Structure 1
Amino acid sequence: MAGLAAHGVQYRKRDFAAIGEEAFVPPTQTTQLGIYSFHEKEIGDFHVEGAVRFENTQQENSVTGEDLSFDAFSVSAGGDVHLSDAVRVGGTVYRTERAPTTEELFSNGPHLATNQFELGDATLGKEVSTGIEAAIRHREDGHFTTVNLFYTDYKDYIFEVETDAEEDGLPVFQYMADDAKFYGFEVQGGMDVTTLGAWDVKVDALAEYVRAKTDSGNLPRIPPLSILTGVDFETDRVRLRAELDYAAQQTKVSANELPTDDFALVNVFANWKAPAGAQDVTLSISMHNVFDSEARQHTSFLKDLVPLPGRNVRFSIRSAF
């Protein structure tokens, strides 16, 4: 019966000050003290682990003199078991508490990088989440599949929402809290397809989906269903890859938020490693968005103004000395 335990204390102090007309957060001081304990143990074919953490966060606004203190307690437990040499199942349950950040509490000004006027809320309390995750993994004979499912229930989930107001020519975004629910899945798989001379051919795919809403409606900037699939051709020194990056349309939007269309981007990559015994050098070249498609990322504050980059080429050299 093997086991492992780790305990610790974490201290963090942050003095924040932004200077100039673009400063949207006043000078603040954040002090954070955390104490944690982690345990894991092997019991036959079972692997179990658990953790607890207590954290005190103090946020002081140097302009208004507001001094806020938050005590947060988090706990989690999980485990997994090998049903066979190829199949493994597991899960985790947790309850976590998070103190609001400086920006969520004290923002008050234009944030030009995201083209918005941000307003914090100093009355925000702790964000509390209770959730469960489950996973099953299968790997054998040159192929693998992983399925992850999750559900999280939030009390006072903190997020930023666009209002109908305007300040300094910018739309006003207000931090607020509401109870919310998140659920979704992640499915990933891959396999070795064949060998063509010196080339090994492999394929892989990843699908992700999340649904999130509060008691009063949809949450803003939640990503839609996304699918990434690709094919690799590899030798000892060369790797070629082509992939398709697809995002579905997102029509489940909050008030004052526009939906986004679906898009599919084709990307290609090529890596070359120097011969064995030479300097450890890798040359890489890639082309993203090969067909110059218009794509707008729903999670971006700027999606209505700025799409993702069009066709672009990147080149890099990596070396280990």
Structure 2
Amino acid sequence: MKIQRTLLSSAILLAFHPALFAAASAPADASADAPQNQTVSEGQIQQVVVTANPLRNGEGDQILTPAKVLAGDELRDKVGSSLGETLQGELGVSASAFGAGASRPIIRGLEGSRVKMLENGMATSDVSGLSNDHAVASEGAVARQIEILRGPAALLYGSGAIGGLVNVVNERIPTELEARPIGQLETRYGTVDNARNVSGSADGSVGKFGLHIDGNWRDTGDYKIPGNRVLNDPSTAMDRLPHSDTAERNIGLGGSYIDDWGYAGFSASHLSNVYGIPTDEGSRIDQRQNRYDFDSLVKNPLEGLESARFKAGFTDYKHAELEEDGSPAVLFTNRSFESRLELTHRPLAGLHGTFGVQTENTHFSALSPSGGPDTVPVTHSTSSALFLVEETTVGPLRVNAGARYENVKRQPVGNIERRFDLGSGSVGALWPFTSDYAAGATVSYAQRAPATEELYSGGPHDATLTFDVGDPDLRKEISRNVELSLQKTSGLLRWKANLFRNNVSNFIYGQVNGNSFDEDGNPGGEFRQRLFQQADAHIQGAEAELTWNQVGMGWNGRLFADSSRGNLDRGGSLPLQPADRIGASVGYRQADWRAGLSWIHARGQERLAAFEDSTTPGYNQVDANLSYTQKLDKTDLTWFVLAKNLLNEDIRLSTSLLKEISPLPGRNFVFGVRAKF
């Protein structure tokens, strides 16, 4: 496509010859050309910026693209051994909870490929969307912030992200020069699983070069459970859940050249993650990933443009599903190259926005090392996309709109090649009818191409004990979503309420039937047959949240509730639907002390898909935190203790495939110290 080649050629020039483009046009405003090595004065409160939004608005400005940003103390209190555990208390977010090592966020009842996982705005390129036993290849312990985003801005990252996206920001490629070395180092110990965790990061500069390093080391044993392993079966009472241990290592390095015109930099990282699968079979997953990223931004590159940003990344991912004796049952590999060019234009006829192009090229497979049926054959996939997001004001209304066109091609070895043309769009409007209150509405239309595993699976999946069978004739999924919101946007007391409905044509899901096979595909084995099928479906729900004094000293509080329902139009529930929840928290900040107490109540979940066997009982989860910070010269030393599941409740998530045999950890005290310099 000629336009794509032209844009990519321009991107390469922007990346490697930024000074030429910076000189080609005079700066239109001083703020855009301000040096990036300025430091924030002590005591100044910085606005939390949503980096996944191309216009880099603050968290409070994301009215048309509902956002949540976890950062600072809030992130450190909530960070767990997986992204699902870290985010499961956020509004509208639950977790897949496939043991301690693998738990992926679920947004408004949508999971897998419908929720896109990003690291610094680029795809994680793992295979966590394929199955709940696969961990997300991004580490929250070294994150500066974690962003949850829905709405028009999500179209910049993929047509299939109808549930939204999660962006882990670790800033491995520096964008600002630090006046002196800064960083933090944290160590913590958890009682429920004998967890030992050390993590840290540091940034500095030499001349105009910014440098970054981060790392994480975590070892946990099998975690304690409150009582029975199997739901409602006293004969299975035990102290610890077998095969729930984890061992994770992660290191990242980055550097960039930073000047008044912008920056250009490179990073490399390595992840090693070995964790158990708490099933009777005792499977383990040995996950490895090498990742290389390039990022560049040029301010005022051409007349009419505020900035041009080019990013590229290569990921070499693999994991082995190991049987109890350590032999590999399935070998997953995914090699991916992604590139993005984003051009942000100056206000034109009242419009301010970003447009660009994205490409992705992947080789994916899930092969049997023993010569049996391959779970997924070697498949080469390519995608090319054009996207646009704009904001404007029409009378009293703020309007936000996005559009994306994408072409996806899947080329499997020994099966049918498929091509999909995908068109997606979204528009939202906000009406601030008084100075403190606003109402909004968003309408979106999105198309998603079937994932490789949904099309071409044809073999055993050891960790889930399923024999997966894809359908190469699946049609593209089409989503039509409407969301209404009402909120109070200023003052110590703030609140918001959302109503949403998502009608999905050709919804793809895995249907477990009564057939079973062995690992060679012969009838009568231990693997349950799971067929990927399509049917029309709808998801609808409501969310509400009230907060008091979330950033100030003294007392603060939060109340929230969320509920969603997913059903097939022909009757019956979608599988693994989240339970209705309500929650409350109270906290206190004063000088160097900080404390908090939170409670979440989940109702019993009895809305089951046709092939699901058991309901999930309700539970109460109570957590607490206490910390004290002492200043030692230029270092802040924070001593903290976190208490999780204080009531030692038997908690089982309705969104987990292992809810019947794998409760969440029991009472846990986490003791730690964090040095920030």
Would you call these one fold, judging by a TM-score over 0.5? yes
Contact 2:367 2:376 in 1 (8 A): no
- Structure 2 CA distance, aligned partners of 1:109 and 1:305? 24
Task: Name the residue aligned to 1:245.
Answer: 600
Q: Percent identity?
A: 27
Provide the residue aligned with 2:156 in structure 1.
Answer: none
Task: Give the 3 Å change call, closer, same or farther, for CA 177–65 of structure 1 in structure 2.
Answer: closer
Aligned residues of 2:448 and 2:477 also touching (Cα < 8 A): yes
Report the CA distance between 1:318 and its aligned residue: 4.4
Separation in structure 2 between the aligned mates of residue 57 and residue 171 of structure 1, nearest angstrom: 31
RMSD (Å), alpha carbons:
2.3
Q: CA deviation at 1:256?
A: 2.1
Distance 1:13 1:4 in 2: 31
Verify the 8 A CA contact 1:115 1:302 in the aligned structure 2: no
Larger mean CA deviation between 277-286 and 306-315 belongs to 277-286
* Alpha-carbon separation, structure 1, partners of 2:565 and 2:493: 29
CA gap of 1:122–1:271, structure 2 versus 1, over 3 A, is farther
1:186 aligns with 2:543: yes
Match of 1:222 in 2: 577
Structure 2 residue aligned with 1:106: 456
Corresponding residue of 1:177: 534
**Residue 469 of structure 2 corresponds to residue 119 of structure 1:** yes
Gap regions ≥5 residues in structure 1:
none
| Cα distance, 1:121 vs structure 2 | 1.8
**Structure 1 residues 290 and 159, CA, compared in 2 at 3 Å: closer, same or farther?**
same
Instruction: Pick the aligned partner of 1:37 from 372, 388, 398.
Output: 388
Q: Secondary structure at the match of 2:558?
A: strand
Output aligned runs, 1:142-221, within 5 Å.
Answer: 142-168=492-518, 169-192=526-549, 200-216=554-570, 217-221=572-576
**Equivalent pair of 2:393/2:399 in contact (CA under 8 Å):** yes
Q: How does 1:256-295 map to 2 (within 5 A)?
A: 256-257=611-612, 258-275=614-631, 278-295=634-651
CA distance in 1, matches of 2:542, 2:561: 8
Shift of the alpha carbon at 1:286? Answer: 1.3
* Distance (whole Å) between structure 2 residues aligned to residue 17 and residue 320 of structure 1: 43
Aligned residues, how many?
A: 316
Structure 1: distance between partners of 2:633 and 2:395: 44
- Give the Cα separation in 1 of the matches to 2:482 and 2:618: 30
Q: Deviations over 1:67-118 (max 9, x none)?
A: 1111110011111021111101111011110001112112223323334332
The one-letter code matched in structure 1 to 2:437 is: V
* 1:80 and 2:427 correspond: no
How far the C-alpha of 1:31 sits from its partner, in A, is 0.6
Q: TM-score, normalised by structure 1?
A: 0.91
Moved more, 225-234 or 36-45: 36-45
Distance in 2, Cα, partners of 1:56 & 1:25: 22
User: Aligned in 2, Cα 1:90/1:105: closer, same or farther, shift over 3 Å?
Assistant: same
Distance 2:660 2:644 in 1: 21
Q: Deviations over 1:106-143 (max 9, x none)?
A: 22233233343322221111000112101111144421
Deviation at 1:7, TM superposition (A): 1.0
8 Å CA contact 2:367–2:375 kept in 1: the answer is no
Of 159-168 and 108-117, the range deviating more from structure 2? 108-117
Q: Does 1:236 align with 2:591?
A: yes
Name the residue aligned to 2:403: 52
Change (3 A) 1:318 1:108: farther
Q: Aligned letter for 1:134?
A: L
The residue aligned with 1:136 is 486
> How many angstroms apart in 2 are the aligned matches of 1:5 and 1:191?
33
Counterpart of 1:224 in 2: which secondary structure?
Answer: coil
TM-score, normalising length from structure 2? 0.44
